[in-house]
Copies of this chain bind each other. A is one copy, B any other.
Amino acid sequence: MKLLQERIAREGRVLPGNIVKVDGFLNHRVDTALLRACCEDIKAHFAGKPVDLIMTCEASGIPIATVAAELFGVPMLFVKKAKSGNLGPDVYTSEVQSYTYGKPVTLTCSKNWLHRGDRVLIVDDFLARGQAMRGLIDIINQAGAQLTGIGIAIEKGFQGGGDGLRAEGIDCYSLAIIEEANESGIRFRE
């Protein structure tokens, strides 16, 4: 998606460790007009596919998932990373390795809000190695729900998570796939 790629090229910064910093418009300060344009593109891609629920991971996936849920006219469910007693004991959990925090994180989702047969579209801001995505899919499978597809703002193509999911036949649609990010700049997949 041209609009997002231009924004990344203009305002994104590459930090050591192939980290692409877009905290001015995506995952700290958030430009909701840009998110709406992103979600319209995602909606067009999944037109005609069944979507009962938008699912994401806290915290930085929540803004784009919120806008997507409004556009699709369905609820948004955000899976928790932090431990909170408030969800109660009746939960699905999946342990994943967090790239951002460098340690294992337990994704937690109440059984009350994800059901057998629910057709789920995962929407997230970033896809790198796909660990969080694997955790969400694990939870969807535990519930007997169905994965309709995945909509991502920025995929770090060089980390392989998205290609792995696509190789398994999952409709993983990313608006900007970064093929290379280093001190000389950011190059997108054609």
Within 8 A of B (CB), among A6-48: 15, 19, 21, 23-25, 28-33, 35-36
Give the interface segment out of A78-86, A140-148, A151-159, A166-174: A78-86
Q: Is A51 an interface residue (CB 8 A)?
A: no
Taking residues whose C-beta sits less than 8 angstroms from the other chain, chain A's interface range is 35 or more
- Given known A62-B62, A78-B59, A87-B23, contact A32–B100 (CB-CB < 8 A): no
Q: Is A69 an interface residue (CB 8 A)?
A: yes
CB of A110 within 8 Å of the partner chain? yes
- A130 CB–B CB distance under 8 Å: no
- CB atoms of A101 and B86 under 8 A apart: no
The 10 closest A-B pairs by CB, nearest first: A58-B59, A29-B113, A59-B59, A62-B62, A32-B70, A66-B66, A30-B76, A63-B66, A29-B77, A32-B69
